[in-house]
Amino acid sequence: MTDYILEQLRALVAIDSPSGFTEKVTAYVLQELTRLGFAPQRTAKGGVLCCLGGSGNGLLLTGHIDTLGGMVAAVKPNGRLRISPVGGLSANNCEAENCRVYGRFGGVVEGCLQLCSPSVHVNKNYSEEKRDFTTMEVVLDAVVHTKEETEALGVSVGDYVCFDPRLTVTETGYIKSRFLDDKLSVAILLGLAKSISEKETVPAREVWLHVTVFEEVGHGGCASVPAGVQEILAVDMGCVGDDLGCTETQVSICAKDSRGPYNYDMTTKLIALAKEAKLDYAVDVYPYYGSDADAALEAGHDLRHALIGAGVYASHGYERSHKEGVKNTYQLVKAFVETL
């Protein structure tokens, strides 16, 4: 199943999809779930909702397909672009990264995000310059020197700016790319859907999949909870960092994030299942994090909630996970849906 999951990851990261610009990537997910024999539907917000089978005691699995990105905030007099971040995009994490600007009415112009004075042979303060979206600009790969010339290309305020993912899988099993948060989890959930479609996994309850499209801006999981659902399991990236136990090769089980503790009984069950299956896992408290499961509860849904995910290093930057983390996460999700 790992090969299928990585195949899906490659397809997903190849489709640009910052929050609010997700129609193409959700069309792909709809197509793949339909190919697997399911009947997915697009929600009014633009996400994908699909029943994977089973009956009673409904469980909603969520993963988000939206990513970080940028939006043109101004076309500058020199023809370059000032951008505003979509989600938690950090300027210093995408300096010198190639990007694409999507014209609202057609056309794509390539470019690169650079410091406004990026040459060390010209700018003696290069190393000390603050990196933020006031000191950095998108330099277009087009011969433009004025605002009017850039606008003539079809580029205008409100256009999306999408950054290269640069996916690579090393011989040692590491998976490196932008936007593993959370396209890696969506690929894992597609793997689960494939397993159910092939009767390898038999749900012990009614299982729904919700691929959300506004998680990075905070409201992905607020809506589209089907009737009868009693629990929500967010499958999102597991944090790797100082004072945390998780590594990229593990599945992380989150006991608490910045919005509060997850359901004690669900979390305990996940830990017990990981122990029983002899999975490599860690239990952690995330200091700066919120999930679609949090958003669902904040929206007023009466649910038990939990959060797991493959360990991801350097989150919201050029991220890294591992095939073993994928395997452990997939096996834990599979065990959870097979157990009452």
pLDDT recorded at residue 290:
93
Residue 170 belongs to some domain of the structure = no
For the segment 265-297, what is each residue's pLDDT rounded down to a tens digit?
999 999 999 999 999 999 999 999 999 999 999
Q: Is 324 a catalytic residue?
A: no
- Tell whether 168 is covered by a domain: no
| Rounded percentage of the chain residues whose pLDDT exceeds 90 | 97
Q: Tell me the C-alpha distance between 184 and 187, whole Å.
A: 5
Domain check: are 266 and 326 in the same one?
A: yes
The CATH number that applies at residue 292 is 3.40.630.10
Q: Is the pLDDT of residue 117 over 90?
A: no
The predicted-structure confidence for 45-62, as pLDDT tens digits, reads as follows 999 999 999 999 999 999
Residue 36 has pLDDT above 90, yes or no: yes
In a domain, 153, yes or no: yes
Of the listed 32, 215, 231, 319, which one is catalytic?
215
Tell which residue, 284, 207, 279, 219, has the closest CA to residue 252.
Answer: 284
- What's the number of domains the chain is made of? 2
Summarize the confidence of residues 187-196 as an average pLDDT: 98
pLDDT at 172 over 90: yes
Dihedral pair phi/psi, residue 339, rounded to 5°? -120, 130
- Same domain flag for 130 and 202: no
pTM of the model: 0.96
> Exposed, middle or buried, 35 (CB in 10 Å: 0-12/13-18/19+)?
exposed
| C-alpha Rg value of the chain to the nearest Å | 21
Q: Which domain holds residue 110?
A: 69-163
- At residue 340, the pLDDT reads 85
- Does 205 lie in the same domain as 157? no
User: Which residues of 34-183 form beta strands (DSSP E)?
Assistant: 41-42, 48-53, 58-64, 69-75, 81-86, 98-102, 108-115, 136-140, 160-163, 168-169, 174-177
120, 208: one domain? no
